Each structure stands twice: as structure tokens, then as C-alpha cells.
Amino acid sequence: MKHWKRGLCGLLAAVLMAPVGLAAPVNGEKGLSDLEGHWAQKEVEAAVASGWVDGYPDGSFKPEKSITRAEFTKMLLDAIHLTPDSETVAWMKVHAKMEDI
């Protein structure tokens, strides 16, 4: 069981350090051009305002497009405010390197 916990901590730390930000969309400051009238417009705009969902560089959101694993991971981490410099990540790094007692 201890090896499982260590492995999970290491996996989570690795995922957090992966360059998911490069594969994720960036915030469209001018508004999301293709969201007008979409059934989820209100919810998407609330998520954008919360800071855990962004649009693409061209100002679109592409609400019917499937998201990639990297985009999903970025959204999940942004939603729970888990960044590479957070205390939780620091704790995982320390405990992933500890020897079993």
C-alpha cells in the first residue's frame, strides 16, 4: 500500500509539472465569438469568469469540440487552484521521495 501511495504522489507531481499549459487554449479577452446563443453560454461564461476555462487564441471557444487530455488536465488543475508552486505539490514532492518507515 505504501508503494501505491508513493507512486500516486509521484504521478500527480509529474502531471503537474508537465507542460499542459502549452497545449491548452488561451483566454480570449474580447469575448468568445462562437458562444452566442449556445445552450451552455451562461455556464461557459461563468467558468471563464472564474478563471478555470479559457478560449482559443482566435477568440473562439469551440463549444462542440471535444477537449484533449491536456486541456482537461489544465481545466481540472485551474478549477482546484493547484499550481506547481502550491503547498500541496511541494508536499507531494517531499513525500514521493521519502523512504518507507
User: Consecutive sets of 10 residues in the chain, 101 residues long: mean pLDDT of each?
Assistant: 58 48 42 87 90 86 92 87 85 78 56
Reference 55, options 32, 23, 78; nearest CA is 32
Torsion of CA 85, 88, 94, 96, to 10 degrees: -120
Domains of the chain: total: 1
Reference 16, options 56, 70, 95, 59; nearest CA is 70
**pTM beyond cutoff 0.85:** no
Could you give the CA distance from residue 96 to residue 23 in angstroms, rounded to a whole number? 26
- Domain assignment of residue 58, given as a range: 2-97
pLDDT of residue 11: 52
